[in-house]
Every structure is written in structure tokens, then in C-alpha cells.
Chains A and B, each alone.
Chain A
Amino acid sequence: MGTVSRGFKGRRPSVELPPGQYLVEDFPVLSAGPTPSIDLQDWELVITSETDEQRRWDWDAFRALPSEQVTVDIHCVTHWSKLHTSWEGASLDTLLEGLETSAGYALVTSYGGYTTNLPLEDLTDGKAWIAFRYDGEDLEPEHGGPARLLVPHLYFWKSAKWVRWIQLGDQDEPGFWESLGYHNYGDPWQEQRFWGD
């Protein structure tokens, strides 16, 4: 048909979605393990460079950083997409500011042991955040609270819940799912779900 009614109020036209995705209105919970119990008194975020230069924030220091409000579409490799999700978080550009690094890759480790890997350039230039609010509320533990990585241009398994440590390095080390069949990069618009896609 090629036409869209201006009065359309139901499912959005599929042309807004990456290939193979369907639209959801709820927010499905997917996790590789149990939700960890994280006391804010004990919470920390650490970034280390390939030369072992280290940045460390406790919760108060992290929350004192400038934050941004972003509205983004998110795409899960299990085929659901959710449009116009609203988050608040600190940009990785802010967290990495002044850190001397020539690393090409980042390995992200979460409380609970989950890991995911991505090129460092996918964390910079306004493409990634450490999010602590969703839809105006503190981020629920089941969705990664108190803080999770948000990298919306890649499949959502890259947006690690309960983020704790970002390790920059010269070697690309596959993470929890990337080491067992899932695509190393995970671009939803290229439908990079599995090895070889």
C-alpha cells in the first residue's frame, strides 16, 4: 500500500523496526542469572585502561556527574523492540573524559558475573550511557538497577545490567553470549544475531 493513516493509533508501521523485530508496549525482563542484591553503600563503577589507569566512582560520586536524559529505541535479539524509551544517565563520554587510552575494545563486567564486549568507539561520541533512571523512576533491579549500560544502537544484550567494571584493552574478548553463538557486534539493522550473520 505504501500509505500510513495520520490517525493510526495501533501498532506502528514495521518500517520503523529493524528486520525480524516486532513491537512491544511492555518491558520484557531478560537476564542470564538471578537479580543481584546491590547495596548503594557498596556500589562502585570502575573503568580501567589498557595501561591499568583506573577511574572509580562510588554511588554519590557517580550521581554527582552531569547526567543526560535520552529517548531511544531498544531492540532485543529475541525479536522484541520497544520504541521511545526514556532514560537518564551519565554519558560514557563524561566517564572517559581525560582518560589516556588507545584501546580499541571494551569488556563490560556486571555484578553477578555477566560480561559483554564491544568496540570502544561504540561507547563514545554520544552513543552510550550508564543509566540510573527509566521513565522518570529509579531503575528497577530487574531492569538493571541501580545502574546499567545503555547502548541502544546495538542489540540490547550489549546494554549490560548491573554494570560494575569497564575494562579497556587492545584485544577483543568475547563476552557471555558472544562466546556462545551470538554475534560479536550485534547491529540490529544488519540483523547480526548469530555468528556468521
Chain B
Amino acid sequence: MTSSNRWPDGNTLTGHLLDLFRVDVTTALGRCTRCGRTAAMAEVRVGDHAPGVVARCPACDQVLLRLVHGPGRAWLDLRGLTYLQLPVPEEA
């Protein structure tokens, strides 16, 4: 078995991520890849007077998130975040 056969393709992500991306991301905690500051995304600096949306770390100015909307599609870059901690409903 080759390595490519051991990994499910990206369609598997649908079930994992569908609920996550329906939450208000501003309530999530995000960790900056540069300085390690971990805080609520509601506290980041957002610039939306640009061709896209740019969120920056309030401590070190690192670009945390970039978002571009085009007709019928959007591009999201989260490479400035080590992780997002998102609230999810607890299972009954």
C-alpha cells in the first residue's frame, strides 16, 4: 500500500469541518504562529479597507488570517494561526 492510499481524500473533511465553520469565529481562541499570543479572535486587528480582509495579531502584527471574496467563491488563508480553538456543542 502506498502512502497516498493510506490517507482519505479531502472529502472526508466535510463532516469534520461543516459544524466548525458554522460557529462565530470571533468566539474562538487563536494562537499566533510568530509570537505565540493566544487570545479570542474578537481581539485581533482587522483591516477590511483592502481588496480582502486581513486580520493581524495585536501583539506582533503578524498576519493571522486573510480572506478574499470573489463571485461565487472565497479564499481563506489561516497560515498565521497555529490553531483555532472553536466552541462546539457537547454531545448529549
Q: Which single member of B52, B61, B73 contacts A177 (CB below 8 Å)?
A: B52
> Within A25-74, which residues are at the interface with B (CB < 8 Å)?
28-34
Contact present for B47 and A78 (CB under 8 Å): no
Contact present for A181 and B50 (CB under 8 Å): no
List, in ascending order, chain A residues with CB within 8 A of B8's CB: none
Q: Tell me whether A75 is interfacial, beta carbon within 8 Å.
A: no
Q: Which single member of A33, A34, A78, A113 contacts B51 (CB below 8 Å)?
A: A78
**Bitwise interface map of A from 111 to 141 toward B, beta carbon under 8 Å scored 1, else 0:** 0010000000000000000000000000000
- The CA-CA distance from A1 to B74 in the complex, in Å, is 39
Stretch at the interface among B10-18, B25-33, B64-72: B64-72
Q: Tell me whether A87 is interfacial, beta carbon within 8 Å.
A: no
Contact present for A34 and B68 (CB under 8 Å): no
Contact present for B61 and A180 (CB under 8 Å): no
Q: Tell me whether A77 is interfacial, beta carbon within 8 Å.
A: yes
CB distance from B72 to the nearest CB of A (A): 10
> Within B58-91, which residues are at the interface with A (CB < 8 Å)?
61, 63, 66, 68, 70-71, 73-75, 77
> Within B27-49, which residues are at the interface with A (CB < 8 Å)?
45, 47, 49
Contact present for A33 and B52 (CB under 8 Å): no
Chain B contact residues: helix, strand, loop or mixed: strand
Report, as a range, how many residues of chain A touch the other chain. 20 to 34
Contact present for B52 and A180 (CB under 8 Å): yes
Contact present for A181 and B61 (CB under 8 Å): no
Contact present for B70 and A194 (CB under 8 Å): yes
List, in ascending order, chain A residues with CB within 8 A of B73's CB: 181, 194
> Within A162-197, which residues are at the interface with B (CB < 8 Å)?
176-177, 179-182, 193-195
Listed A/B pairs (30) with beta-carbon separation below 8 Å: A29-B49, A30-B49, A31-B50, A32-B50, A32-B51, A33-B47, A33-B56, A33-B61, A33-B63, A34-B45, A34-B56, A34-B61, A76-B51, A78-B51, A157-B51, A177-B51, A177-B52, A177-B68, A180-B66, A180-B75, A180-B77, A181-B52, A181-B74, A181-B75, A182-B51, A182-B52, A182-B68, A194-B68, A194-B70, A195-B70
Q: Sort A-B residue pairs by CB-CB distance and give the 10 closest, nearest first.
A: A181-B75, A181-B68, A194-B70, A180-B75, A32-B50, A180-B68, A30-B50, A32-B54, A77-B51, A180-B77
